[in-house]
């Protein structure tokens, strides 16, 4: 199965909202369909593409622009680029939408309270203890998207359900060819035969 055409999947959400977790669930689904995929996770990008940049508004804007530039190049060459960074500014995301065009925005939604409770990387603890700098959601604003293509509510849906929802949207937008014989349960989630088909493909590719 090949994709119709590649796009950039742009995750946005607070730290700890679940961008990485959903990305990890999404990548094997895309690869199982023969897509070329590249993940640009905020934490990874910080160590190379954006090395040396700080957390001022100016530097953060540059990071998002660079990320968008790389996603555009990848997408233009048939790669599904997944950007998983907080990207708190609506303007920066919208600029990348205009630049890339084939752009699917995924709002990974979780309340600040939930993210603080999860505190996967211990970052909130440090900030709240006054040990570190500014932080999105605490000292700096986070602007949720108005019209994202997908909303993954990670207080209610598992990462796997979130990934499936994205796949379904990619099919609706003609970025992916729907799997033959797929059946939906009405919520855009696959059932029975299709899940088994995906499982078999993942197994064949060595992901399971």
What are the respective helix, strand and coil percentages of the chain, to the nearest 5? 45, 15, 40
SS3 label, residue 81: strand
Smallest separation, CB 70 to ligand ADP (Å):
18
Smallest separation, CB 48 to ligand ADP (Å):
18
137 binds ligand ADP (CB under 6 A): no
Task: Give one DSSP letter per residue of 16-48, joined into a string.
Answer: TSSHHHHHHHHHHHHHHTT-EEEEEEHHHHHHT
Judged by CB under 6 A, which of 3, 6, 12, 18 binds ligand ADP? Answer: 18
Judged by CB under 6 A, which of 7, 21, 26, 167 binds ligand ADP? Answer: 21
Q: Answer for the pair 173, 80: CB distance below 8 angstroms, yes or no.
A: no
- Shorter beta-carbon distance to ligand ADP: residue 22 or 179: 22
22 binds ligand ADP (CB under 6 A): yes
CB atoms within 10 A of CB 91: 10
Smallest separation, CB 199 to ligand ADP (Å):
20
Map residues 162-201 to x or -, x wherever contact with ligand ADP holds by CB under 6 A.
x---------------------------------------
Number of residues located near ligand ADP, criterion CB under 6 A: 18
Residue 151 to residue 147: CA distance in whole angstroms:
9
Residue 179 to residue 110: CA distance in whole angstroms:
30
Smallest separation, CB 193 to ligand ADP (Å):
25
Residue 132 a catalytic site member: no
Number of residue whose CB is nearest ligand ADP: 18
CB atoms within 10 A of CB 94: 14
CB atoms within 10 A of CB 84: 28
Residues within the interface to ligand ADP (CB under 6 A): 13, 15-22, 84, 108, 118, 120, 154, 157-159, 162
Q: Tell me which residues are annotated as active site.
A: 87
């Amino acid at each position: 199965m090949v994709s119709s055409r590649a796009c950039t999947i742009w995750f946005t959400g607070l730290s700890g909202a679940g961008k990485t977790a959903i990305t990890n669930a999404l990548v094997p689904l895309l690869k199982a369909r023969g897509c070329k995929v590249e993940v640009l996770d905020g934490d990874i990008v910080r160590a190379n593409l954006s090395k040396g940049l700080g957390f001022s508004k100016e530097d953060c804007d540059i990071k998002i622009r660079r990320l968008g530039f790389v996603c555009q190049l990848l997408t233009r060459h048939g790669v599904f680029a997944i950007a998983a960074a907080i990207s708190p500014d609506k303007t920066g995301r919208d600029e990348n939408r205009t630049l890339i065009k084939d752009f699917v925005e995924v709002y990974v939604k979780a309340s600040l309270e939930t993210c603080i409770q999860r505190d996967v990387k211990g970052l909130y603890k440090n900030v709240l203890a006054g040990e570190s700098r500014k932080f999105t959601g605490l000292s700096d604003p986070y602007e949720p998207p108005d019209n994202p293509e997908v909303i993954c509510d990670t207080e209610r849906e598992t990462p796997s359900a979130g990934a499936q929802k994205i796949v379904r949207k990619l099919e609706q937008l003609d970025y992916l060819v729907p799997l033959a014989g797929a059946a939906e349960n009405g919520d855009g989630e696959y059932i029975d035969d299709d899940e088994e088909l995906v499982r078999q493909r993942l197994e064949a590719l060595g992901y399971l």
